[in-house]
Amino acid sequence: METPLTQHISFNRPPYNLRDYERAGGYQALRKALTTMGPADITKTVQDSDLKGRGGAGFNTGMKWSFVPMTGDHAVKYLICNADEMEPGTFKDRMLMEGNPHQLIEGMIISAYAIQASISYIFLRWAYKKAGRLLRHAMDEAYAAGYLGKNILGTGYSLEMYLHTGVGRYICGEETALLNALEGKRATPRTKPPFPQVSGLFGKPTIVNNVETFCNIPHIINNGPEWFKSLGGSDAGTKIYGVSGRVRKPGLWELPMGVTMRELIEVHAGGMANGYRFKGALPGGASTDFLVKEHLDVKLDFKSVAAAGSRLGTGTMIILDDHTCPVGFVHNLEHFFAQESCGWCTPCREGLPWTEKILLSIEKGEGRTEDLQLLDMHTRFLGPGNTFCALAPGAMEPLQSALKYFREDFETHISQKKCPWR
Amino acid sequence: MTILETLTTEEITEIDHEISLVPFRKAAAIEALKVVQQHRGWVSDESLRAIAGHLEISPEELESVATFYNLVFRRPVGRNVILLCDSISCYVMGYQKIYGYIRDRLHISFGETTPDGRFTLLPNACLGTCDHAPALMINNELFRDLTEDRLDEILDGYH
């Protein structure tokens, strides 16, 4: 089984420096792309590979790039790596950046060339201090080797790269909010259209992709779109999957896209920890719907998880075990979302704190029967189409599925006037 | 009203470097706040006015940016800031016990600073190390797989 993204990652040693990375074949894809391929060839190759955005939305990456204007007077275009990884339960991009920073930088340069961007940013989470140090060092090496800066590899193409560290808000992961943060403003989302591909950072054409997405690019250029498709099972490529919670071996694994939930939990994560039983899981971060026992054979790709009523999201799974109160679990999630709402639109700003309060009162044994209808109502009012961005609809996903699969637990809290888990 | 506080030469040099990287001055607002917080530990009203003056924007506009972000401190913090992850994986793995232990030992709750100014304790959203939950950061250092019996040793490392 091939694991292109993690083949050169080992945490028993420091990550590859430039020389080691080159010796392992690094920057060959960049050389190939810049000296033998045109920007349009690269975009088409990526589009044909069927690489879908690994930040959670699952949109075809090459198609996203194809919306960037390639004719006319666009002296400045931007390419941005979204390394803000703040989705609770998600820890995959940290591993990719700490494990092999040059892989990300090479992927970004190739991608920037494809859209003819002249400036690129890595928008890194403040908490990722180690990743920041390693990326800064790797960028310096890449500049010194002529992979960044003016006239890269003598091709006439120039690219600057900057590392920007955020100051902490979940909403910065939303790509238009991220643009506002980079412009030094409050990170509220922007109206679409215009889409960032046309009018993004400082009003210029801009592409924003996730860390894992960029890390795939060198391998697609080296090996071709058909190879990339053949890596996966039910969808193209490999995926960094993760599991956290009460399992024997929480962690991250690069696996063919479409591994089943059962295999991920039982084989890779070693099964549930002693004395704990599986009750449900959020398959791809805090903003995804619960999947339960009946879904254990669902393949973890974008389409199959959607068909099961949830989202693949970031592919990092959080397990709900039988010792953890589902109401408390969801209350913790809604506390996070209420706190991280940017406050821009009313349903999100007002609805999330209300939701949090109701859940707290149920958890404390002070809930009323009609509270469940109130929560049901919120899942509709804060659902898709009723809010400015995807934050509140994402917040409603674990809540609506908890109300569906664990309704009895909610009812027990209300009828017994206490939390049965305490 | 007079602006009593001014930016130091060092701060101005660093902020001006950030300004040189962006198309207009106020786009460096967040970086400028970070620079001053780095030097002074937090951003006081006076500091905020001085930064706004340098960026040529109103203090109100800069305040709207400063208060938006979780890690721009608009109140003084202790010499060491403990950021305890309270998000979902750490919840499942029992961060509440870690919180309880720190609270009992330092006699501070979330949002408070010890009277000697040694520690400030803050809740923090997911630190992205969920396979090693529960986790916390002190200043720039990450501690993972926390158990109550390790906390004394960790806290003793900060003065």
Is A279 within the bounds of a domain?
A: yes
Q: Does A195 share its domain with A91? A: yes
Looking at the structure of chain B, the number of domains it has is 2
Interchain pair A333, B23: CB under 8 A: no
Among candidate residues A166, A196, A231, the one where a domain is terminated: A231
Chain mean pLDDT for chain B? 95
Name chain A contacts of B21, Cβ cutoff 8 Å. Answer: 162
Q: Does B97 share its domain with B56? A: no
Is A141 within the bounds of a domain?
A: yes
- Separate counts of helices (H) and strands (E) for chain A: 17, 8
State whether residue B22 sits within 8 Å of chain A by CB. Answer: yes
- Nearest chain B residue to A187 by CA: give it: B68
pLDDT digits (tens, 9 = 90+) for A157-177: 999 999 999 898 999 999 999
Q: Does B134 share its domain with B86? A: yes
Is B2 within the bounds of a domain?
A: no
Strand partners, A318: A244, A282
pLDDT value for A75: 82
Interchain pair B88, A333: CB under 8 A: yes
Is A88 within the bounds of a domain?
A: yes
Provide the CATH number for the domain around residue B37: 1.10.10
Q: Does B93 share its domain with B148? A: yes
- Nearest chain B residue to A338 by CA: give it: B125
Report residue B5's pLDDT band, with 50, 70 and 90 as the boundaries. Answer: confident
State whether residue B105 sits within 8 Å of chain A by CB. Answer: no
State whether residue B98 sits within 8 Å of chain A by CB. Answer: no
Minimal C-alpha gap between A279 and chain B (Å): 13
Is B4 within the bounds of a domain?
A: no
Interchain pair B72, A167: CB under 8 A: yes
Q: What mean pLDDT do residues A39-57 have?
A: 96
Is B75 within the bounds of a domain?
A: no
Q: Is residue A258 within 8 Å of residue A68, measured between CB atoms?
A: no
State whether residue B127 sits within 8 Å of chain A by CB. Answer: yes
Structure tokens at A98: 């700490």
Report residue A389's pLDDT band, with 50, 70 and 90 as the boundaries. Answer: very high
Q: Give exposure, A157-194, as e/b (b: 16+ Cβ within 10 Å).
A: bebebeebbbbbbbbbbbbbbbbbbbbbbbbbbbeeee
Q: Which domain holds residue A283?
A: 238-321
Q: Does A93 share its domain with A198? A: yes
State the Cα–Cα distance between residues B31 and B147, nearest whole angstrom: 36
Among candidate residues A231, A247, A278, the one where a domain is terminated: A231
Name chain B contacts of A282, Cβ cutoff 8 Å. Answer: 88
Is A7 within the bounds of a domain?
A: no
Q: Which domain holds residue B87?
A: 80-156
- Nearest chain B residue to A184 by CA: give it: B27
Which residue in the set B21, B65, B88 is minimally distant from A185, CB to CB?
B65
Which residue in the set A129, A184, A329 is minimally distant from B140, CB to CB?
A129
Q: Does B132 share its domain with B93? A: yes
pLDDT value for A321: 98
For testing contact with chain A, the best of B86, B90, B130 (most A CBs within 10 A): B130
Q: Does A134 share its domain with A255? A: no
Q: Does A221 share its domain with A125? A: yes
User: What residues of chain B, 30 to 89, have a C-beta less than 8 Å from chain A?
Assistant: 30-31, 33-34, 64-65, 68-72, 83, 86-89
Q: Does A168 share its domain with A293? A: no
Count chain A–chain B contacts defined by CB atoms under 8 A.
Answer: 129
Q: Does B86 share its domain with B152? A: yes
Minimal C-alpha gap between A2 and chain B (Å): 23
What is the residue-wise DSSP string for A272-306?
BPTT--EEEEEBTBTTS--B-GGGTT-B-SHHHHH
Please give the helix or strand (H or E) that residue A119 lies within, else none: strand A119-124
Question: Is pLDDT above 60 for A138?
Answer: yes
pLDDT value for A74: 76
pLDDT value for A57: 87
Report residue B49's pLDDT band, with 50, 70 and 90 as the boundaries. Answer: very high
pLDDT value for B1: 46
Rg, chain A, Cα only: 22
Q: Does A160 share its domain with A82? A: yes
Least confident of A69-83, A183-197, A385-399, B47-61: A69-83
Q: What mean pLDDT do residues A113-137 have?
A: 97
Looking at the structure of chain A, the number of domains it has is 3
What was the ipTM of the complex prediction?
0.95
Query: Quick one: what percent of chain A has pLDDT higher than 90?
Result: 97
Q: Does A225 share its domain with A94? A: yes
Q: Does B146 share its domain with B84? A: yes
Q: Does B85 share its domain with B149? A: yes
Is A94 within the bounds of a domain?
A: yes
Q: Does A340 share its domain with A213? A: no
pLDDT digits (tens, 9 = 90+) for A250-297: 999 999 999 999 999 999 999 999 999 999 999 999 999 999 999 999
pLDDT value for B112: 97
Q: Does A343 share its domain with A213? A: no
Provide the CATH number for the domain around residue B91: 3.40.30.10
pLDDT digits (tens, 9 = 90+) for A55-68: 988 999 999 999 99
Structure tokens at A185: 């403003």
Provide the CATH number for the domain around residue A373: 1.20.1440.230
Provide the CATH number for the domain around residue A197: 3.40.50.11540
Is A4 within the bounds of a domain?
A: no
State whether residue B137 sits within 8 Å of chain A by CB. Answer: yes
Which residue in the set B70, B86, B89 is minimally distant from A89, CB to CB?
B89
pLDDT digits (tens, 9 = 90+) for B100-147: 999 999 999 999 999 999 999 999 999 999 999 999 999 999 999 999
Is B96 within the bounds of a domain?
A: yes
pLDDT digits (tens, 9 = 90+) for B74-102: 999 999 999 999 999 999 999 999 999 99
Chain mean pLDDT for chain A? 97
| Residue B27 vs residue B4, higher pLDDT | B27
State the Cα–Cα distance between residues A200 and A197, nearest whole angstrom: 6
Q: Does B53 share its domain with B22? A: yes
Report residue A77's pLDDT band, with 50, 70 and 90 as the boundaries. Answer: very high
pLDDT value for A73: 79
Minimal C-alpha gap between B89 and chain A (Å): 6
pLDDT value for B4: 58
pLDDT value for A271: 98
Interchain pair A88, B89: CB under 8 A: yes
Q: Does B152 share its domain with B120? A: yes
